[in-house]
Amino acid sequence: GAGVSQSPSNKVTEKGKDVELRCDPISGHTALYWYRQRLGQGLEFLIYFQGNSAPDKSGLPSDRFSAERTGESVSTLTIQRTQQEDSAVYLCASSLDALHGAFFGQGTRLTVV
Amino acid sequence: DQQVKQNSPSLSVQEGRISILNCDYTNSMFDYFLWYKKYPAEGPTFLISISSIKDKNEDGRFTVFLNKSAKHLSLHIVPSQPGDSAVYFCAASYSGNTPLVFGKGTRLSVIA
């Protein structure tokens, strides 16, 4: 497809379970970002991949969060032992680089019950 | 500590008038600034950007102004249309190779 694709679009999980969120960036985009937006809040940076550089993980809120990216393609964000405060919309974005603006996917709405 | 601040959570403007959305930043290393627009249940969409070597960038009804000395930027929409009603996020980065830092957003309502 032409845009950033995220799956699933919605996920309801029980507290304590692990979840995996997927992002397919735009082909050729070397930069990939994960953000989350909690209800009524702004966009919170989680992690950033740029080419072959080591990812910037400075935004990950705890060691329960991790992300992987295979080359310049798919990325997965994994949340282990989910907590209710993890409930949010998780947004993935990709860009050629920061100078070109990032294109966002539709997001994955995660609800932890 | 918020590096990008949008101090107005909401703004209401009449159709046809100018909408001015403001953004302040604290990190003087930021050299690239962007505005995004977000509708409910959709991801943010890129609107317009400006690099620190400019003080103005225009694209149709949208103009972004940058005041580096004040560490302030603004987005002007003129004339405002009901379809512009959305949440607008300001974002910043530096070196062209760092993650975007977003503000908390301003909800714009354009009233017909």
pLDDT beneath 50, residues of chain A:
none
Of B43, B96, B102, the CB nearest to A42: B102
Which residues from A are below 8 Å from B100, CB to CB? 33, 45, 93, 98, 102
How many other CB atoms are found less than 10 A from the CB of residue A5? 16
Q: How many angstroms separate the CA atoms of A34 and A76, rounded?
A: 10
Q: How many angstroms separate the CA atoms of A86 and B94, rounded?
A: 29
Reduce the DSSP state of residue A66 to 3 states and report it: strand
Task: Kindly give the confidence (pLDDT) of every residue in chain B, 112 residues in length, as a single tens digit, with 9 standing for 90 and above.
Answer: 689 999 999 999 999 999 999 999 999 999 999 999 999 888 999 999 999 999 999 999 999 999 999 999 999 999 999 999 999 999 998 876 678 899 999 999 999 9
Reduce the DSSP state of residue B44 to 3 states and report it: coil
Task: Report residue A52 CA to chain centroid gap.
Answer: 18
Which residues contact residue B74 at a Cβ distance below 8 angstroms, ignoring those fewer than 6 apart? B20, B21, B22, B23, B64, B65
Q: How many angstroms separate the CA atoms of B70 and A97, rounded?
A: 27
Of B42, B45, B93, the CB nearest to A98: B93
Say if the Cβ atoms of A91 and B43 lie within 8 Å: yes
Q: Is A103 on the interface with B (CB under 8 A)?
A: yes
